[in-house]
Structures are given as C-alpha cells and as structure tokens.
Amino acid sequence: MKLSATAEKAIQAYGGSGLWEKARSIEAVITANGLAFTLKRRPAFRRAKFTAEIHRPFACMTPIGARAEVAGVLDGVDVRLENSAGELLEERKNARSYFPFGRRLFSWDDLDMAYFANYATWNYLTLPALLMNDQIQWSEKRPGFLEAFFPESIPTHNRLQTFQFDLESGRLIQHNYAPAIISKFANAANVVKEHNQGDVLFTSHRIVTPQGFGGKPMGGPILIDLTIHEFQIR
C-alpha cells in the first residue's frame, strides 16, 4: 500500500509506522458532552475508561450510561453490555441496522450508545493505523487533505470522509463526516483544538459542530465536546 506524502507525515507525527504496526491496543480516559447527548437523552461521559484493539473494531467504554458498573462493548458490527465481572447482560447483533428509525430519532439506550461511542472513539484514536489500513481507500485530493472511503466491515460515521492535516507538522486539524445514525441530515466538522503528549502525541481536545459552507465548522451549536485526559498504547 503506497502512502501519500500527507499520510506519511501524519503517521510520523503520531509515533511512526513501526509503533502502530506493532502496537495491539490503546487505553484512554475521556470526558464528552454536548447537544448530541442531550438530543438522544444520554448522560455525559465523565472520565470514562476506553479500551480498544488497534487493528480491528473492538472497543469498550465504561461506564456506557448511568450505571457505573455497566460497560458497553463494540465487537465488529455487534454490541453488548457487560457487568464489572465481564458477564453478558444484553446484546444486539448488527447494531447499525436499527438506526436511525423509530424512538432512536429521539432517544438512545445503552446499546445504541455503545455502538456510537465506541466506533467513533475507535476511529478517532486509531487514526494512524487507519491510514495504513489497506481496506480503506485513501486519496490525497490536494496537499494536506485526505479523502477516505471506508468498507462496510468497518463501523464508522459514513463511508466517505475527509481529513485535513497541517502540512508542516502532520497533525490533524479537522475531520469531516456525516454521522448518519444521528440524522440523515447531519454533516459534522470535528475540529482538533489541542494535542497532548503521552506515550505518543495524541489529540486531547476536539469540538464537533455542524458543517457550514465548504465544510467549514460553524460557530455552534456544539454537538460534542470531547476531551482525552489520558492516552496509552499497549
């Protein structure tokens, strides 16, 4: 798989290809809130623990909702809830097929949130590995701007997404997508506000707003305010 100049620079900025090829999992502590939570009648995440495998869509968010002992798990296209002992509480196969219809237009349960929160966070935090994933069709539309076409096997916001990187540092600036499971009319601009240094450089604060003209972020409303407090690679 031949990488574009922007992809190579970005991978290097976030730790290098050797690190991400050998690494197996990530751990993070996150806080997230915003209008997207309110619209779906969901509690905010407050220093929730997130763990995930890097090379396949498997992730766990604890707690996933109001019950501190309940974790939401994404396993490929399926989701489940587990208690603190790892015992199965509830599961839902092919979770995406349930969106955005019926009551999900107005409210999400823990399994719905387990799907959305896990796939979204997995996509955000494993980006260097995704840039090297040959299942994803990457193309450089112009310097600093990458377009990605995701296969059905990778849970994500929508199939066609764009990423803007700083030409000099290789750091991610903005990620645009259409989160169809929230609304078929949604178009989001995910702007990186801060980076931090842990085991590697990571995006530590993001703000998601609707897209304006030309994909530019609008001033509001804030759909999701996401803070990554801690980030480790295993």
pLDDT of 148 reads 98
pLDDT of 62 reads 98
pLDDT of 199 reads 83
DSSP assignments along 158-180, one per residue:
-SEEEEEE-TTT--EEEEEE--T
Cis peptide before 63 (omega within 30 of 0): yes
pLDDT of 184 reads 80
Residue ranges in the chain whose pLDDT is less than 70: none
pLDDT of 198 reads 86
**Residues 148-154: contacts with CB under 8 Å, at least 24 apart:** 153/76, 153/77, 154/57
CB 223 within 8 A of CB 34: yes
Domain ranges of the chain: 5-233
Q: CA 44, CA 226: separation in Å to the nearest integer?
A: 10
CATH, range 5-233: 2.50.20.10
pLDDT of 185 reads 84
Q: What confidence tens digit (pLDDT) does each residue in 4-18 have?
A: 999 999 999 999 999
The structure's pTM equals 0.97
